[in-house]
Amino acid sequence: MSEHITTVAGVAVDTRHWIGGERVASAATFTDVSPIDGSVLGEIARGTAAEAAAAVAAAREAFPAWAATPREERARILHAIADGVERRLEELAVVETADNGALLRSHRRGVMPRVAHNFRFFADWLLRLDHEDFDTRGHTNHVSWDPAGPCVLITPWNAPLMLATWKVAPALAAGDTVVLKPAEWSPLTASLLADIAAEAGLPAGVLNVVQGYGSEIGDALTSNPDVRRISFTGSVPTARHIAASAAANLTPLSLELGGKSPLLVFADADLDLAVDLAVEQYDNAGQVCLAATRILVEETVAEEFTRRFVDRASDLRQGDPRDEATDIGPTIHPRQLEKIDGFVQRAVAAGARAVIGGHRRDGRYFAPTLLTDVAQDSEIVQEEVFGPVLTLQTFGDEDEAVRLANDTRFGLAATLATGDPERARRVTGQLVAGTVWVNCFFVRDLQAPFGGSRHSGVGREGGTWSFDFYCDLKNTVTSPKGWKDHG
Ligand code: NDP
């Protein structure tokens, strides 16, 4: 077997880049380690500006033919990729779990089926994409979605293949070509996706995958003048860096960033439902951008809510993510664990009280934590922790609830637990958030716009909004005059 192939949970994964339909090695490599037990999963190609340039050049070369490929054919190939994902679902699930430590049962039943759905959804949406012609003083306006060109797609480690394909699928459907750069902590399933796309008949150069450290390869991607779109999911500091890098070429950006979302629990809520919603925020060990990490509870029910929450949370099982019984897996990386611990220790030093958790467990885990006695302007309430750490504050009335909910620099999502539909409408109207869930959480439909306000992002993707971003929209105005008879 090639020195460039690593075997992860019995699955062979190529550790090189995928550029122009070929595997390409780099002079250097970086070590990919499993969050489950620290074992080495592989030595991954450590890309540089040279590989970034080669990948963009390949995407540029492949662009005209892919853009000219009829929609129906593009859609057929996207469905073939979805077939490949479904065929290799178990392999993708076990590799992703080994690589990022999220629950195997979630990967099997939720995440990987959703990866396939990403391709099917945007393939089907492409075929329905249309805008009715309209008339201006007898002239016809026709709107078309023209492919934009090579796109750079940069994704994080918390849901690697799901977040990558949520960008790759619409970009390919739109007729664009792609350079995908996954996070260095979770590089493996992007490599498998390259294999699956090639097997599905995607022409060489239409999808390229490059591996490497953030800036080391990233700057050469985001500053390349041949890149027509950059879609990024990740942290605010990196987004700022990318925006500056893209500025010279005015490359359009879609930025999906962090959050510090609230869960508002009103006294009229079904309290058991509210507790379920709160406990759900520990999913993926809290490494979820949308997580409602600030629980805001109406004073009159705060004590009862907290009692029931502690009861429910104490049932959660933390451990090996491959075990079906596990609810919370490890933190992705020792550096992330340090970060989480730092946030919690500083909060406690500032007067917060850990109702549950507040400490590490067994090296790789952070215990599910609920902190009270936190000030609105404190770091723990204002900054994204990206770990299983929730804060609990109380409010006296609806106005105060809305004020606290909106009082961070983020605006990604908000969740409401209330028994009163009128209140739900009133409060929703005042919240700054890209998504609001009422008496539910994480119900995501690909046809809905998705993104954040304020520092949670720029732009929206999903359904037609994805095509708006990945296409150059063109309006053609045709006069009724001037036609010659070619009959
Ligand atoms: P980072 O911003 O650190 O990294 C995200 C990606 O950007 C990685 O692939 C990273 O590569 C890459 N990168 C880093 N520096 C550069 C650069 N200079 N140029 C180009 N690319 C670069 O975020 P995390 O991976 O830590 O992810 C966590 C963050 O993502 C959280 O803030 C979370 O809220 C957010 N997120 C947002 C979501 C949303 O939809 N709104 C969904 C999921 C997460 P490398 O790994 O090599 O550093």
Asked whether 164 and 119 are in contact (CB, 8 A), the reply is no
Q: Look up tokens 């106005």; give the residue.
A: 399
The protein residue with its alpha carbon nearest to ligand 1, atom 42, reads 289
Compute the distance between CA of residue 213 and CA of residue 467 in angstroms, rounded to an integer. 29
Q: How confident is the model at residue 456 (pLDDT cuts 50, 70, 90)?
A: very high
- Closest protein CA for atom 15 of ligand 1: 214
DSSP-derived secondary structure for 367-402: --EEEES--TTSHHHHS---SSEEEEEEESSHHHHH
Query: Could you write out the DSSP letters of every residue in 403-448?
Result: HHHH-SS--SEEEEE-S-HHHHHHHHHH---SEEEES------TTS
Show the tokens assigned to 374. 């936190």
Mean pLDDT of the chain: 97
236 CA distance to ligand 1 middle (Å): 8
- Could you give the 3-state DSSP secondary structure of residue 450? strand
pLDDT, position 424: 98
The beta strands (E) that lie in 22-109 are given as 22-24, 29-33, 40-45
Instruction: Give 485's pLDDT tier (boundaries 50, 70, 90).
Output: confident
Using an 8 Å Cβ cutoff, are 166 and 461 in contact? Answer: yes
Q: What is the rounded CA–CA span in Å between residue 347 and residue 366? A: 15
193-223 residue pLDDT tens: 999 999 999 999 999 999 999 999 999 999 9
Average pLDDT over residues 265-293: 98
Asked whether the beta carbons of 327 and 317 are under 8 A apart, the reply is yes
The one-letter amino acid code at 215 reads: S
Q: What pLDDT was estimated at residue 275?
A: 98
Instruction: Say how far apart CA 242 and CA 231 lie, in whole Å.
Output: 10
pTM, rounded to two decimals: 0.97
Catalytic residue, from 51, 96, 184, 289: name it.
289
Catalytic (active site) residue 471: no
The dihedral of CA 61, 186, 202, 144: what is its sign?
A: negative
The angle that helices 160-174 and 112-128 make with each other, rounded to 10 degrees, is: 20
Determine which residue's CA is closest to atom 46 belonging to ligand 1: 183
Q: How far is the CA of 459 from the centre of ligand 1 (A)?
A: 17
pLDDT given at position 197? 98
Please, is 217 exposed, middle or buried when counting C-beta atoms within 10 Å of its C-beta (0-12, 13-18, 19+)? buried
Sequence-distant (≥ 6) Cβ neighbours of residue 162 within 8 angstroms: 111, 114, 115, 118
Structure tokens belonging to residue 385:
């922790």
Identify whether the C-beta of residue 80 lies closer than 8 Å to the C-beta of residue 90: no
Catalytic site residue from 51, 96, 184, 256: 256
Instruction: Give the chain's count of helices (H) and strands (E).
Output: 16, 24
Task: Give me ligand 1 centre to Cα 155, in Å.
Answer: 6
Distance 163 CA to ligand 1 centre (A): 11
Of all protein residues, the one whose alpha carbon is nearest to atom 35 of ligand 1 is 234
Q: Provide the phi-psi class of 20: left if phi over 0, else alpha when psi is between -120 and 50, else beta.
A: left
Residues at CB less than 6 angstroms from ligand 1: 154-158, 163, 181, 183-185, 213-215, 218-219, 222, 233-235, 238, 241-242, 256-259, 289, 384, 386, 412, 452, 457
pLDDT tier, 487 (very low <50, low <70, confident <90, very high otherwise): low
Tokens of residue 111, six digits = 């995440």
- Quick one: which H or E segment has residue 311? helix 299-313
What digits encode the pLDDT tens for the residues 232-257?
999 999 999 999 999 999 999 999 99
Structure tokens belonging to residue 477: 């105005």
Distance CA 448, CA 141 (A): 26
Distance of CA 213 to the CA centre of its chain: 19
d(CA 379, CA 383): 6
